[in-house]
């Protein structure tokens, strides 16, 4: 099967790549575009380490074909900060020790940003359910949930 | 030697604060490089062919078709690796025999479990590598297999290893067995103690294999040149372990292998051995290209090392006023396909929280046709604690004594003769129990269908070997170089100890983890040892530098070095020599070229004086009476950390260990079909806790400083996984009246137990 | 045979042609959350994936002239929840669809995919069965309408012939509740999983009810998942509710009927006894929620 040419936008920049027809978006991000911030923990949509935004929706990039993003807008963890200014989520994750090994962190940041973009004032329960697709094995989630809630408060201007 | 007495009253500038970790920025920006993130020009992809049988003789392997495929650069089998003689490793976590390790990395005569590696290929793409695997023809003679420890001990059980004779029994057996060894440990007379008891509880417990569940699959990139020199990029809990193991398995010198540590995406003991690394080096040598190998999640489950499945028979007795008098345990731990379960550690830890007149624990290490177990956080202890702590709960109930009070009455303390050998030194068993008892959680009201459980836990913690160097730049900033992968914030704690030693801002300290060619040998990141032991090495190296700084200041001032002290980031003349302004680190560093050259210090040591750790957990559950579903609704962990260098990361260890233990208690298990194939090799059906499964996990850090560590550190990483299983199970008992002696407490099992009680 | 490996047609007709030409070697790719995971696990390796998300009829939701709904087969779960009228009329269907996987999965997973994957445990299917939903199937011979409960024929198998695909789901109109004296309706879906999220149902139960102005149930449908080789419509459980005010005796009878109808297997996710027992519990609980949503005395 011939490789396909795909034109898309990643983190606001126009990007073109060639991919195998059944190659996942995750593999293309990592292996073709060197955007290795998006991680593979399972390859079957069960851990959320590969979370990205595709046309404004949160998805697992392991469960999307690269061929599908023709003409689309992809955003990854590398696009969360504004230049050198960290997003409040990134800052709170650092300040509140919401990461230990850090492998799940990119996926959590992308998913948490998707949550807060749609719901600026979530309850603890809402945060827990919204992030249930992101596995973390180090933290017991406590500090992650607090960091997300504190980021939300800051974004609302309450902190 | 870092043997400074702990000044308990001393006010610290950095110790106990919560600075942002120095490696954090790259991790929140997606720039940190983990095992699978490395790539090299010309790199090709390696994949492993795995046995579809739980037990089979490998009659022949025909790789010719795979080798002939376009894009395939190398195919290897066990024949491409040297035969390794039986030899026990001196390093690593838990007993490792190099011949077994070699056979686990790639099967030689027999495949011993479903998923056992039998061949490997390297090709230009992973798709071609996959097709090449399918072109390899392996002829198997399928053998009868045995999956359960009980069945493996039957007289007619299939024997995994014809040369395995049970160690530790007299007379030496004449027939091979699946029981690799018997060990025992105890103090006093267990049977006499039990005979004295008013209440004796006898229970049998079963637990299933569980996986560490690190989110990052094993990954490696390796090159092996024509000159016989290899470079390996890999994530692991110890790059020196990878170097030593690969050298042994491939017949190379350690000086021929350089291992560069990647960031590690979780390990919990599971990355304390090698799987892909020797294969990647061998494939690279044959292909003449760099080879990258990354396990799928399915491979991680099927072919790496989970924790043992166990069966434990326990008898414990106490007087009617609640004094533990005797205990006897028989522990059978499955090792998987090769000997080496952590049953030895289980036998040692089992009764450690208690001062019992007479106790005896017998441990059996049993091989079965399943993947070889590996270390998992306090290896062997959580299953043993499940047995002991639920029986203690039952004895307390029989005596009508509050379960924490019962534990306090029987608690081991400084001077208590442990069952595993030494008398306890300064330990925080009593202090953690008291703190748990005083916590508001312990007396908070409960709702309908809710119950509260408590449990204690103990872990030895590790010392072992560590190295560090400390370099002073000419602007007075510091680079701290050590050899232990940072799995959860250790760079931060090492930098903080260095900043404390020098009396400078922690931001001026750059902690780096160096490859095997740069820093001295360092044992694994494991055994809760890095902040303790590598911390000692860093402190020693800092003090080596401070001694030199004082010498430089003395020579600048023209006074005796004994008249110079180091405090608050500067050399100061102690005799009040008139006009001698203190010389800061920066002042001295600037003059280094003219006062003797660059300033650096080093330390390599075997850390002694490990501080043992105790923890108490309080768990509230709510049980749905109609479905048997258990929800953890409140959870508190109390733990003696000695001294918390960076409290956030100590809390993180406590919370993470609790979450893993809760998962182990409620839902996690390896499920096998009758053919020995794991039925749930993915995160969908291997059910680790998700965020919505857990409440906030409250933490209480108790600080009973370890007197032999310069900052009082005890290891903190492992003990938090010891109490959760019994804490949850005791809470379920409190909520429902049922005591469940088999894990996990999945809804069908809990509902069946509740129904049995109701009828 | 199309050798491209991936096509994204814009019309149903093109899709049918591609499916016919592939003669069984193609798979329809909607959200891909089952299909791509199965490909990753080596369980299937279709030569051609036909992405149907760019076909307008499959990617849209609309209220029909009769007051019912037409839901495109490839609309993702998150989009269902954003459609306020659908959520108001059929909260049980939306909550069932929303239970599938994580927020990430919800960005992709569709009703069409959930149905055509053929799993007996598919969460949206019992809710759709309870709702009396039909689906429109297009193929070489034109289109046909099939009740949702007739689509899955065995685990992993559907009634779709080669060349056919599901285009949309049709939901009947609901009494809108604007008149306090008129009939009202409600639906609900519950599932049992060992965790709180991210699991496959051990048991799923969907209930849809209509109440008259006196609060008496005039119509009911019950769907069960994960308790047989296919999702079930359980008329006996519905019959136990019709004509009652869903008092405790009626709920208990419906639960017993659901347990009796369940014909589950023992597997890694649950036991026969457990599934039968919990099928009754969840049917009862789902009926109470549906009752409350219909404004009854739940």
Q: What does the block give as tokens for B81?
A: 């690796």
Q: What whole-number distance in Å separates Cα of residue C57 and Cα of residue A84?
A: 43
The structural domains of chain A, ordered by start, are 4-79 (3.10.20.30), 88-155 (1.10.150.120)
Q: Does residue C136 sit within a domain?
A: yes
Total of domains in chain C: 2
C-beta atoms surrounding A85 within 10 Å? 9
Q: What whole-number distance in Å separates Cα of residue B540 and Cα of residue B603?
A: 6
Task: Give the pLDDT confidence score for residue B1 in this predicted structure.
Answer: 34
Task: Give the pLDDT confidence score for residue B8 in this predicted structure.
Answer: 53
Across the interface, which of A21, A64, A111 has its CB nearest the CB of C4? A21
Task: Give the pLDDT confidence score for residue B5 in this predicted structure.
Answer: 44
Q: Does residue C112 sit within a domain?
A: yes
A15 Cβ contact partners less than 8 Å away, ≥ 6 residues apart: A7, A8, A9, A33
Least Cα distance to A11 among A54, A64, A65 occurs for: A54
- SS in 3 state form for A45-57? CCCCCCEEEECCE
Q: Does residue C288 sit within a domain?
A: yes
Q: What whole-number distance in Å separates Cα of residue C58 and Cα of residue C112?
A: 9
Band of pLDDT at residue A1, cut at 50, 70 and 90: low
pLDDT at B90 over 90: no
**Assign residue A45 a region: left if phi > 0, alpha if psi is -120 to 50, beta otherwise?**
left
Instruction: Describe the strand order of the beta sheet including B110-111 as a list of residue ranges.
Output: B110-111, B56-62, B137-142
Could you give the residue ranges of the DSSP H alpha helices within B604-686?
647-666
Q: Does residue C270 sit within a domain?
A: yes
Q: Is A25 on the interface with C (CB under 8 A)?
A: no
| Buried-exposed string C281-292: b where 16+ CB fall within 10 A, e elsewhere | bbbbbbbbbbbe
Task: Give the pLDDT confidence score for residue B628 in this predicted structure.
Answer: 98
Considering the domain architecture, whether residues C80 and C112 belong to the same structural domain is answered as: yes
B226 exposure class (CB count in 10 Å sphere: 0-12, 13-18, 19+): exposed
With a cut of 0.95, is the ipTM above it?
yes
Q: What whole-number distance in Å separates Cα of residue B280 and Cα of residue C45?
A: 27
Residue B424 DSSP symbol: P
Q: Are B215 and A40 in contact (CB under 8 A)?
A: no
pLDDT at C289 over 90: yes
Determine the distance in angstroms separating the CA of C199 from the nearest CA of chain B, rounded to an integer.
Answer: 6
Q: Which fold has domain B24-32+463-607?
A: Aldehyde Oxidoreductase; domain 4 (3.30.365)
In sequence order, the β-bridge partners of residue C187 are C208
Determine the distance in angstroms separating the CA of C106 from the nearest CA of chain B, rounded to an integer.
Answer: 16
B22 interaction partners in chain A (CB closer than 8 Å): none
Q: What whole-number distance in Å separates Cα of residue B540 and Cα of residue B549?
A: 14
Q: At what angle do helices C272-293 and C248-261 cross, to 10 degrees?
A: 140
Q: Which fold has domain B380-461+610-758?
A: Aldehyde Oxidoreductase; domain 4 (3.30.365)
Q: What whole-number distance in Å separates Cα of residue B553 and Cα of residue B583?
A: 7
Task: Give the pLDDT confidence score for residue B27 in this predicted structure.
Answer: 98
CB contact under 8 A, C197 and B684: no
- What is chain B's alpha carbon radius of gyration, rounded to the nearest angstrom? 27
Among C74, C81, C107, C114, the strongest candidate for a mutation testing the A interface, having the largest count of A CBs within 10 A, is C107
Q: What whole-number distance in Å separates Cα of residue B401 and Cα of residue B395?
A: 9
C-beta atoms surrounding B105 within 10 Å? 27
Tell me the backbone φ, ψ of residue A101, rounded to 5 degrees: -75, -30
Domain CATH code at residue C100: 3.30.465.10
B650 interaction partners in chain A (CB closer than 8 Å): none
C108 interaction partners in chain A (CB closer than 8 Å): 57, 59-60, 63-64
Considering the domain architecture, whether residues C241 and C270 belong to the same structural domain is answered as: yes
Across the interface, which of A51, A67, A129 has its CB nearest the CB of C6? A67
Q: Is A129 on the interface with C (CB under 8 A)?
A: yes
B301 Cβ contact partners less than 8 Å away, ≥ 6 residues apart: B211, B670, B678, B680, B681, B682, B686
Residue B247 DSSP symbol: H
Q: Does residue C29 sit within a domain?
A: no
Q: What's the CA dihedral at B348, B354, B360, B363 to 10 degrees? A: -30
Token pair 């079963």 is found at: B206
Domain CATH code at residue C276: 3.30.390.50
Q: Which of A149-153, B364-368, C210-214 has the lowest mean pLDDT?
A: C210-214
B364 exposure class (CB count in 10 Å sphere: 0-12, 13-18, 19+): buried
Considering the domain architecture, whether residues C204 and C134 belong to the same structural domain is answered as: no
Count H helices, E strands: chain A? 5, 5
Q: What does the block give as tokens for B336?
A: 């998987």
Across the interface, which of A1, A44, A57 has its CB nearest the CB of C40? A44
Q: What whole-number distance in Å separates Cα of residue A154 and Cα of residue A150?
A: 6
Per-residue model confidence as pLDDT tens digits over A29-88 = 999 999 999 999 999 999 999 999 999 999 999 999 999 999 999 999 999 999 999 999
Q: Does residue C225 sit within a domain?
A: yes
B217 interaction partners in chain A (CB closer than 8 Å): 40-41
CB contact under 8 A, C195 and B689: yes
Across the interface, which of C197, C268, C278 has its CB nearest the CB of B627? C278
The full set of domain ranges for chain B reads: 24-32+463-607, 380-461+610-758
Considering the domain architecture, whether residues C188 and C124 belong to the same structural domain is answered as: no
Task: Count CA atoms within 13 Å of residue C232 on its CB side.
Answer: 25
CB contact under 8 A, A138 and B33: no
Query: C262 is in which domain, residue-wise?
Result: 184-192+199-293
Per-residue model confidence as pLDDT tens digits over B203-237 = 999 999 999 999 999 999 999 999 999 999 999 99
C113 interaction partners in chain A (CB closer than 8 Å): none
Across the interface, which of A42, A129, A139 has its CB nearest the CB of B652? A139
CB contact under 8 A, A109 and B28: yes
Considering the domain architecture, whether residues C74 and C161 belong to the same structural domain is answered as: yes
Q: Is A130 on the interface with C (CB under 8 A)?
A: yes
Task: Give the pLDDT confidence score for residue B453 in this predicted structure.
Answer: 98
Considering the domain architecture, whether residues C206 and C155 belong to the same structural domain is answered as: no
Fold: same for B24-32+463-607 and B380-461+610-758: yes
Considering the domain architecture, whether residues C219 and C287 belong to the same structural domain is answered as: yes
Q: What whole-number distance in Å separates Cα of residue B417 and Cα of residue A135?
A: 42
Q: Does residue C218 sit within a domain?
A: yes
C278 interaction partners in chain B (CB closer than 8 Å): 626-627, 747, 751
pLDDT at C202 over 80: yes
Task: Give the pLDDT confidence score for residue B275 in this predicted structure.
Answer: 98
Per-residue model confidence as pLDDT tens digits over B573-629 = 987 766 889 999 999 999 999 999 999 999 999 999 999 999 999 999 999 999 999
């Amino acid at each position: 099967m011939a490789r396909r040419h795909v034109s898309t936008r990643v983190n606001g920049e126009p990007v073109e790549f060639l991919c195998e027809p059944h190659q996942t978006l995750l593999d293309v991000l990592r292996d073709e575009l060197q955007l290795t911030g998006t991680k593979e923990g399972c390859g079957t949509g069960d851990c959320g380490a590969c979370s990205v935004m595709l046309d404004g929706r949160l998805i697992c990039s392991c469960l999307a074909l690269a061929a599908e993003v023709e003409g689309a807008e992809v955003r990854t963890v590398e696009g969360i900060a504004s230049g050198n200014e960290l997003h409040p989520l990134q800052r709170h994750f650092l300040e509140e020790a919401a990461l230990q090994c850090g492998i799940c962190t990119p996926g959590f940041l992308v998913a948490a940003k998707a949550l807060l973009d749609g719901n600026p004032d979530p309850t603890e329960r809402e945060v827990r359910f919204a992030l249930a697709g992101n596995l973390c094995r180090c933290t017991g989630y406590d500090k992650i949930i607090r960091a997300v809630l504190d980021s939300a408060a800051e974004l609302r201007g309450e902190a | 030697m870092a043997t400074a007495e702990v000044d308990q009253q001393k006010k610290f500038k950095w110790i106990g604060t919560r600075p942002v970790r120095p490696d954090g920025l790259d991790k929140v920006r997606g720039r940190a490089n983990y095992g699978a993130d490395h790539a090299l020009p010309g790199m090709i992809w390696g994949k492993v062919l795995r046995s579809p049988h739980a037990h089979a003789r490998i009659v022949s392997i025909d790789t010719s078709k795979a080798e002939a495929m376009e894009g395939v650069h190398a195919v290897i089998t066990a024949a491409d690796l040297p035969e390794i003689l039986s030899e026990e490793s001196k390093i690593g976590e838990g007993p490792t025999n190099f011949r077994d390790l070699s056979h686990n990395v790639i099967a030689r005569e027999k495949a011993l479990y479903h998923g056992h590696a039998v061949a490997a290929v390297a090709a230009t793409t992973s798709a071609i590598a996959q097709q090449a695997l399918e072109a390899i023809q392996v002829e198997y003679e399928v053998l009868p297999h045995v999956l359960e420890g009980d069945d493996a001990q039957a007289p007619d059980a299939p024997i995994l290893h014809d040369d395995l004779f049970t160690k530790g029994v007299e007379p030496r057996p004449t027939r091979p067995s699946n029981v690799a060894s018997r060990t025992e440990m105890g103090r006093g007379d267990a049977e006499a103690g039990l005979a004295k008891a008013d209440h004796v509880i006898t229970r049998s417990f079963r637990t299933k294999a569980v996986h560490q569940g690190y989110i990052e699959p094993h990954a490696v990139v390796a090159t092996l040149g024509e000159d016989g020199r290899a470079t390996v990029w890999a994530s692991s809990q110890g790059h020196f372990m990878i170097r030593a193991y690969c050298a042994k398995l491939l017949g190379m010198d350690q000086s021929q292998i350089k291992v560069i540590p990647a960031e590690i995406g979780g390990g919990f003991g599971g990355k304390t051995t090698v799987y892909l690394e020797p294969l990647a080096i061998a494939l690279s040598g044959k292909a003449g290209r760099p080879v990258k190998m990354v396990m799928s999640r399915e491979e991680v489950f099927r072919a790496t090392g989970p924790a043992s499945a166990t069966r434990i028979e326990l008898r414990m007795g106490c007087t009617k006023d609640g004094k533990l008098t005797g205990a006897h345990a028989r522990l059978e731990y499955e090792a998987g396909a090769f000997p080496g379960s952590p049953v030895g550690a289980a036998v040692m830890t089992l009764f450690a929280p208690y001062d019992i007149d007479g106790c005896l624990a017998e441990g059996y290490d049993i091989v079965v046709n399943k993947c070889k177990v590996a270390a998992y956080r306090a290896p062997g202890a959580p299953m043993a604690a499940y047995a002991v702590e639920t029986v203690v709960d039952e004895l307390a109930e029989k005596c009508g004594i509050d379960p924490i009070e019962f534990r306090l009455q029987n608690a081991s303390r400084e001077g208590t003769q442990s069952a595993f050998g030494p008398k306890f030194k300064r330990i925080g068993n009593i202090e953690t129990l008291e703190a748990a008892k005083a916590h508001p959680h312990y007396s908070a009201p409960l709702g309908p269908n809710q119950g509260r459980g408590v449990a204690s836990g103990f872990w030895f913690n590790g010392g072992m070997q560590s190295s560090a160097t400390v370099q002073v730049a000419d602007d007075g900033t510091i680079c701290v170089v050590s050899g232990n992968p940072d799995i959860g914030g250790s760079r931060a704690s090492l930098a903080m100890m260095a900043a404390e030693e020098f009396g400078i801002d922690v931001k001026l300290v750059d902690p780096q983890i160096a490859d095997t060619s740069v820093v001295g040998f360092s044992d694994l990141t494991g055994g809760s040892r890095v902040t303790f032991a590598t911390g000692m090495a860093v402190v020693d190296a800092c003090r080596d530098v401070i001694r030199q700084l004082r010498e430089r200041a003395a020579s600048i001032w023209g006074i005796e070095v004994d008249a110079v002290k180091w405090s608050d980031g500067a050399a100061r003349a102690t005799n009040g020599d008139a006009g001698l302004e203190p010389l800061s680190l920066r002042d001295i560093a600037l003059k280094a070229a003219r006062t003797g050259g660059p300033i650096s210090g080093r330390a390599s040591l075997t850390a002694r004086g490990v501080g043992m750790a105790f923890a108490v957990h309080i768990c509230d559950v709510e049980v749905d009476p109609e479905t048997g579903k258990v929800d953890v609704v409140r959870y508190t962990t109390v733990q003696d950390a000695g001294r918390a260098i960076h409290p956030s990361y100590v809390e993180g260890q406590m919370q993470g260990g609790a979450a893993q233990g809760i998962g182990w208690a409620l839902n996690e298990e390896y499920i096998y079909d009758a053919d020995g194939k794991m039925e749930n090799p993915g995160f969908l059906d291997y059910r680790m806790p998700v965020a919505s499964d857990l409440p906030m996990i409250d933490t209480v850090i108790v600080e009973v400083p370890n007197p032999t560590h310069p900052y009082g550190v005890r290891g903190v990483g492992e003990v938090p996984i010891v109490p959760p299983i019994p804490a949850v199970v005791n809470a379920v008992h409190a909520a429902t009246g049922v005591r469940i002696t088999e894990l996990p407490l999945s809804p069908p099992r809990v509902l069946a137990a509740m129904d049995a009680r109701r009828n | 045979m199309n050798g491209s490996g991936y096509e994204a047609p814009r019309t149903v007709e093109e899709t049918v042609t591609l499916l016919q030409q592939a003669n069984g070697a193609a798979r329809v790719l909607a959200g891909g959350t089952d299909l791509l995971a199965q490909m990753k696990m080596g369980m299937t390796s279709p030569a051609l994936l036909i992405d149907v998300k760019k076909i307008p009829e499959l990617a849209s939701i609309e209220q029909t002239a009769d007051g019912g709904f037409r839901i495109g087969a490839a609309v993702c779960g998150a989009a269902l929840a954003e459609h306020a009228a659908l959520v108001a009329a059929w909260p049980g269907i939306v909550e069932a669809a929303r239970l599938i996987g994580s927020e990430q999965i919800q960005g992709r997973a569709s009703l069409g995919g959930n149905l055509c994957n053929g799993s007996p445990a598919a969460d949206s299917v019992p809710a759709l069965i309870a709702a009396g939903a039909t689906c429109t199937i297009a193929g070489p011979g034109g289109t046909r309408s099939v009740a949702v409960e007739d689509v899955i024929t065995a685990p992993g198998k559907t009634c779709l012939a080669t060349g056919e695909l599901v285009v949309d789901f049709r939901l009947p109109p609901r009494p809108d509740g604007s008149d306090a004296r008129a009939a009202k309706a409600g639906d609900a879906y519950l599932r049992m999983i060992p965790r709180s999220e991210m699991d496959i149902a051990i048991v799923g139960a969907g209930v849809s009810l209509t109440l008259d102005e006196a609060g008496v149930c005039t119509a009911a449908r019950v769907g069960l998942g994960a308790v047989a080789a296919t999702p079930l419509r359980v008329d006996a459980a519905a019959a136990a509710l019709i004509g009652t005010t869903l008092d405790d005796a009626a709920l208990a009878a419906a639960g017993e009927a659901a347990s009796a109808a369940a014909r589950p297997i023992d597997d890694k996710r649950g036991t026969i006894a457990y599934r039968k027992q919990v099928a009754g519990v969840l049917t009862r609980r789902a009926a109470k929620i549906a009752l409350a949503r219909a404004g009854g005395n739940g």
